[in-house]
Amino acid sequence: MGEIFGNLWDGAVFALSLWNILAILIGYAIGIIAGAIPGVMAVTAMVLILPYTFTLEPLFAIAMLMGIYKGGAYAGSITATLFNIPGTPEAAATALDSYPMFKQGMQKRSLEIALWASVFGGTVSNFLLVFTAPPLAEVALRLGPSEIAALILFSLTAVITLLGDSRMDIWKGFISITLGLMLATVGLDNMSASRRYVFGIEDLDNGVPFVLTIIALLALSEVFIQAEKVGGFTLGEAASAVSKIIPYTWKQRWLDLKICLKDLIRSSLIGSLLGALPGIGATTAAFVCYGEARRSAKKNARFGDGDPRGIAAPEAGNNAVAASSLIPLVTLGIPGSVAAAVMYGAFMIQGMIPGPMLMMEHPEIIYGLFVLLIVTDFLGAFVIALPFISVVQKIFKNLNYSLFFPGVVVCCVVGVYAEEFNVFNLRIFLALGFVGYIMRKMGMSIPPFILAFILGPILERNTRTALLLSNGSPMIFLQSPITLGLLILAAVALGWSLWRKTRGGKSVLEVPEEFKH
């Protein structure tokens, strides 16, 4: 432990120069702008900027990319709050509560809760990265295909809390889940290298890209929904709410912290654990955290109607993923997420290969990076994010909605295009946007669809890999105590949630129709 502090000190001496701090701030600003523009991902910004890091100082380049990553992880919640249009997939869960809260005139409150929860989650996972990276990486490695499959199944049960309360809603929710699983089967089946539902189109071989799907279902469909409202005075709906902004007092802040603290801690830990596992990602973590917060709350909670915990939990969770997804990278040299893969590239461009060797040969670089990471959350939040929020709020007051929504469509399309530079993707994007609109009209909620769409393929792949390893014997799921435990947990969670939904009667608060996704 003492050694770590020594290393941290060396890293701080090595890394904390004015230049590197500037790099963080520039990066954070780029990240926050990219993240706040619907459809443009922080990762896309990282990828586009990556080639330019060839000519930069190593730590400057990496600090900047780190800043983009962190800024983007928070910024998606801004548009999610103000327009119900998540700027990034990670913020999809946040919108469930932050938009309703905003509509009650508490925009400052919901934006700030999201920000502070992000800082909290980010910081917890930064420290976990610094102090527990090697053991956590070891745990992540030990989880084999069968354990991961069980873990995903358990995570998937968080979906149940996202469903409505009437029987009709529950059936629709299950249909939504199955449709999500179905869409995810499109593409090459990796376990047999053959096609499923591809219709001979090569562009579909890699499946429907997930960022595109989420932006289409949530952002584009919202634009269609808003298009309906043109003519009435409710365009942008929230415009009326601006007149009665409720100030966010220090007392209220203190109260919110007290309410949310438990969820903040739990979400930060869940987010860090899920982040350390390759391929699960921030969007899932956010939904799982949201689901867990909801599951553990009392029956009278105002989830779906602007509960502060409904904002804090997913935001802390998705930001916790940011740092912990670097754990496999620095300890094993294995990038666990798209963003980590870009960081890997950035290291390689600078002539370093991240992993245990780099940790041994150049601890000052790795620990320097850690110090910068810890600094990023605070500096970014105070120097960039807070001013940015107030600017956004000012712009928001005189927003011309009839120009804003077409602009959103353009941003989404450009963002989707910039991911793979494939025009074909735009067609899928548009089609899915309309599907999302129709689903919302039919009262089918979108979040279960998304969660199933992300987790379905991981579940299928790991289940089949496990069966391949056991020569087809399903006993592999019962032999490992972890797998068995998780499976039992999943079954219990599923049963309990369903029982609570059907037996517990309706929740105290009726959730108004338009707050549902």
Partner 1 sequence: MNARSELSIATVLIGFSMLNYFYLIPTQVVAEGSSPVYPALINTMLLCFALAYLAEGVRCWRKEKLAQSEGGSCSTGGGKLMVRPLAMLVVTGAWVLSMEYLGFIISTFVFLMIASRIFGSKSWSKTLILSVAMPLIISFVFRGLNALLPEGPAEELINLILG
Partner 2 sequence: MKKLMAVLTCCLALALVAVPALAKDYPTKPITAYIPLSAGGTTDVFVRTIAPYMEKYLGKPLILVNKPGSGGAVAISTLSKAKPDGYTFSWANLPTLVTIPQMRKLTYDPKELVYIASPMHYDYILYVKKDSPYNSLKELIDFARKNPGAVSYGTPGLGTTNHLGVAWLANHEKVKMTPIPFKGNPKSVAAVLGGHVVACNTSTTASVSAYKGGKLKALAIMSATRIPLTPDTKTLKELGYNFAQFSCLGAVFPKGTPEAMRKKIEEAIKYALSQPDVQQKAKDELYISIDFLDGKKYRELCDQYWGIWGKVLKEVGLKKF
Contact (CB, 8 A) for 157 and 490: yes
Distance CA 166, CA 163 (A): 9
Contact (CB, 8 A) for 354 and 344: yes
> Does 415 interact with partner 2 (rule: CB under 8 A)?
no
Listing DSSP states for 250-274 in one string gives HHHHHHHHHHHHHHHHHHHHHHHHH
> How far apart are CB 159 and partner 1 at their closest, in Å?
13
Residues whose CB is less than 8 angstroms from the CB of residue 416 and which lie 6 or more positions away in sequence, other chains included? 39, 211, 212, 215, 216, 425, 426, 429
Binding segment for partner 2 (CB under 8 A), chosen from 140-148, 241-249, 378-386, 389-397, is 140-148
Pick out residues in 437-466 that bind partner 2 (CB under 8 A): 461, 465
> Does 182 interact with partner 1 (rule: CB under 8 A)?
yes
Distance CA 98, CA 290 (A): 12
Distance CA 230, CA 407 (A): 16
> Does 421 interact with partner 2 (rule: CB under 8 A)?
yes
| 352: partner contacted, choices partner 1, partner 2, none (Cβ within 5-8 A by kind) | partner 2
* Residue from 42, 216, 352, 413 in contact with partner 2 (CB under 8 A): 352
Residues whose CB is less than 8 angstroms from the CB of residue 509 and which lie 6 or more positions away in sequence, other chains included? 300, 302, 305
Distance CA 57, CA 55 (A): 7
> How far apart are CB 417 and partner 2 at their closest, in Å?
11
| 241: partner contacted, choices partner 2, partner 1, none (Cβ within 5-8 A by kind) | none
- Cβ nearer to partner 2, comparing 50 with 484: 50
- Cβ nearer to partner 1, comparing 468 with 488: 468
> How far apart are CB 238 and partner 2 at their closest, in Å?
37
Distance CA 413, CA 298 (A): 41
Distance CA 456, CA 180 (A): 8
Distance CA 80, CA 222 (A): 11
> Does 199 interact with partner 1 (rule: CB under 8 A)?
yes
> Does 51 interact with partner 1 (rule: CB under 8 A)?
yes
| 430: partner contacted, choices partner 2, partner 1, none (Cβ within 5-8 A by kind) | partner 1
> Does 185 interact with partner 1 (rule: CB under 8 A)?
yes
β-strand pairing of 194-196 with 187-189:
antiparallel
* Residue from 12, 16, 22, 50 in contact with partner 2 (CB under 8 A): 50
Q: Is 28 helix (H, G, I), strand (E, B) or coil?
A: helix
> Does 58 interact with partner 2 (rule: CB under 8 A)?
no
Binding segment for partner 1 (CB under 8 A), chosen from 54-62, 230-238, 341-349, 381-389, is 230-238
Neighbour count for residue 474 (Cβ, 10 Å):
11
> Does 358 interact with partner 2 (rule: CB under 8 A)?
yes
> Does 482 interact with partner 1 (rule: CB under 8 A)?
no
- Cβ nearer to partner 2, comparing 138 with 228: 138
Contact (CB, 8 A) for 183 and 450: no
Contact (CB, 8 A) for 161 and 498: no
Helical axes 58-83 vs 18-36, angle rounded to 10°: 30
Q: How far is CA 396 from the centre of its chain?
A: 24
- Cβ nearer to partner 2, comparing 21 with 321: 321
Instruction: State the residues that interact with partner 1 by CB under 8 A.
Output: 48-49, 51, 164, 166-169, 171-172, 174-175, 178-179, 181-182, 185, 189, 191-192, 194-199, 223-228, 230-231, 235, 400-403, 405-407, 409-410, 413-414, 417-418, 421, 423, 426-427, 429-430, 433-434, 437-438, 440-444, 460, 464, 513
- Chain positions contacting partner 2, by CB under 8 A: 47, 50-51, 54, 141-145, 188, 190-195, 200, 202-203, 205-206, 278-279, 328, 332-335, 338, 341-346, 348-349, 351-358, 360, 420-422, 461, 465, 468-469, 471
